């Protein structure tokens, strides 16, 4: 199997093209971790690199079992609410595991543990709930890989189990992102109004994840949420 | 009485579940509606006619322990002044939203006579949720 340097490949694209790759190819979306070889352009079957595994629902994400139960034919039972929920939970735990392994996220370990803690909090509150909405988490994961220079946000869950990420700064600065399951992000910005110190500028909007930081560039968010 | 507007000088309490309180800090997600909710559930503290905030919180904890199967260890009660939150949202929201805070006592299931709701919120109100969060000046553990 050829060795592929993903960082070298991505350095030849601009951020818009990378976003296009991410959103334009389900193959990549399902095998995205930026640390793994990108096989899509070479047409190599992803089946050869898929690692079916199940992860325990514990406070730590590095407890991997050696065998898979999810892909065995005897487990392909009729689709029921429980089965769908289990599949979504498996996706969530796999995504959290990818975040934990992702070398491009410098706070990956702490972030993965926080996500798993939130998942457990949600399950403790309602054992029949999603825990975390898998598509929202995938959207968040894509955002992190497109913006690798940001400080670790505070993460919480919305009532619909979507990821809500928030950065808070001096003078009441707020930058909060609600990661929707459809690749959109709703954002909120609070920042000081330099001409009227007693007032704040408050803005909200919606954008796709790939253009979000360009969209809010004029508010100079990156000056205070970047490492 | 059901439907009464809660006076501006009074206070309401909101139960913030652990998924809204990472690292012990209440987040704006605690003030967002579920997709099937019309209003944000709160409790009217002055309705309880207690002599102190501590007694009000103790009564609210009792109500929660009867209403919910489980209150997580990090669950937190946020206390908000009605007038302050209404004024903040009216003056700072993009559409000058006029929140209504109405008494809505619950008698089916465990009795919750001080139950109330904040109305005129929608599911895409992240900015208003952040404004509400700015008006939280008191927070208490939700467990005894």
Percent share of chain A, pLDDT over 90: 52
What pLDDT score was predicted for residue B55?
Answer: 97
Percent share of chain A, pLDDT over 70: 64
**What whole-number distance in Å separates Cα of residue A164 and Cα of residue A184?**
13
Report pLDDT digits (tens) over A112-142.
999 999 999 999 998 888 899 999 999 999 9
ipTM: 0.95
Q: Put the strands of the sheet holding A200-208 in their side by side order.
A: A154-157, A163-168, A174-179, A184-192, A200-208
Q: What is the mean pLDDT of residues A51-76?
A: 46
Band the pLDDT of B84: cuts 50, 70, 90. Answer: very high
What pLDDT score was predicted for residue A79?
Answer: 63
Residue A178 has its nearest CB partner, among B23, B126, B131, at B126
Higher-confidence position of A23 and B142 = B142
What pLDDT score was predicted for residue A51?
Answer: 43
Report pLDDT digits (tens) over A177-203.
999 999 999 999 999 998 998 899 999
What pLDDT score was predicted for residue A85?
Answer: 72
Q: What is the reported pTM?
A: 0.78
What pLDDT score was predicted for residue A56?
Answer: 46
Q: What is the mean pLDDT of residues A54-67?
A: 44
DSSP string computed for A28-69: HHHT--TTS---GGGT--GGGT-----B--SS-S--B-SS--
Give chain B positions within 8 Å (CB) of A202.
Answer: 92-94, 127, 131
Give chain B positions within 8 Å (CB) of A174.
Answer: 130
What pLDDT score was predicted for residue B54?
Answer: 97
Q: What is the mean pLDDT of residues A35-47?
A: 41
Residue of A190, A188, A107, A192 lying closest to A144 (CA atoms): A107
Report pLDDT digits (tens) over A154-182.
999 999 999 999 999 999 999 999 999 99
Q: What is the mean pLDDT of residues A211-215?
A: 96
Vertex A198: Cα angle to A195 and A202 (nearest 5):
80
Report pLDDT digits (tens) over A97-107.
999 999 899 99
Which of B40, B96, B126, B142 should be substituted to probe chain A, the one whose Cβ sees the most A Cβ atoms within 10 Å?
A: B126
Q: What is the mean pLDDT of residues A65-89?
A: 60
B interface residues, A as partner, C-beta within 8 Å = 17-23, 25, 27-30, 32-35, 37, 70, 72, 74, 92-94, 124, 126-127, 130-131, 134
Q: What is the mean pLDDT of residues B50-73?
A: 93
User: Does position A111 have pLDDT exceeding 50, yes or no?
Assistant: yes
Neighbours of A30 (CB within 10 A): 12
DSSP code, position A150: B
Mapped onto helix, strand or coil, the DSSP state of residue B119 is: strand
């Amino acid at each position: 199997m050829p060795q592929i340097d993903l960082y070298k490949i991505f350095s030849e694209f601009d951020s818009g093209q990378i976003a296009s790759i991410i959103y334009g190819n389900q193959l990549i979306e399902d095998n995205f971790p930026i640390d793994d070889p990108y096989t899509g352009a070479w047409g190599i079957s992803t089946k050869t690199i898929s690692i079916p595994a199940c992860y325990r629902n514990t406070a730590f994400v590095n407890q991997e079992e050696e065998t898979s139960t999810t892909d065995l034919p005897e487990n392909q039972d009729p689709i029921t609410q429980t089965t769908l929920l289990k599949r979504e939970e498996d996706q969530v735990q796999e995504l959290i595991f990818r975040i934990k392994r992702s070398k491009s996220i410098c706070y990956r370990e702490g972030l993965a543990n926080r996500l798993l803690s939130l998942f457990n909090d949600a399950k403790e509150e309602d054992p029949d709930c999603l825990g975390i909405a898998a598509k929202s988490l995938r959207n968040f994961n894509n955002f992190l890989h497109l913006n690798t220079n940001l400080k670790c946000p505070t993460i919480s869950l919305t009532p619909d189990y979507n990821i809500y990420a928030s950065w808070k700064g001096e003078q009441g600065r707020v930058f909060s992102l609600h990661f929707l399951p459809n690749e959109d992000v709703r954002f909120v910005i609070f920042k000081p109004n330099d001409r009227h110190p007693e007032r704040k500028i408050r803005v909200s909007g919606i954008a796709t994840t790939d253009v979000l930081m360009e969209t809010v560039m004029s508010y100079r968010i990156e000056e205070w949420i970047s490492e | 009485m059901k439907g009464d507007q809660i006076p501006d000088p009074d206070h309401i309490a909101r139960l913030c579940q652990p998924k809204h309180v990472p690292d012990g800090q209440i987040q704006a997600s605690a003030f967002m509606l579920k997709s099937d909710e019309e209003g944000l559930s709160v409790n009217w503290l002055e309705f309880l006619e207690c002599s102190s905030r501590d007694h009000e919180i103790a009564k609210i904890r009792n109500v929660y322990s009867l209403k919910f199967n489980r209150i997580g260890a990090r669950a937190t009660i946020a206390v908000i002044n009605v007038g302050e939150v209404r004024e903040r949202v009216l003056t700072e929201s993009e559409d000058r939203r006029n929140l209504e805070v109405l008494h809505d006592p619950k008698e089916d299931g465990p009795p919750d006579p001080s139950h109330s709701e904040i109305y005129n919120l929608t599911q895409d109100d992240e900015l208003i949720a952040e404004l509400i969060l700015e008006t939280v000046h008191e927070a208490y553990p939700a467990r005894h």
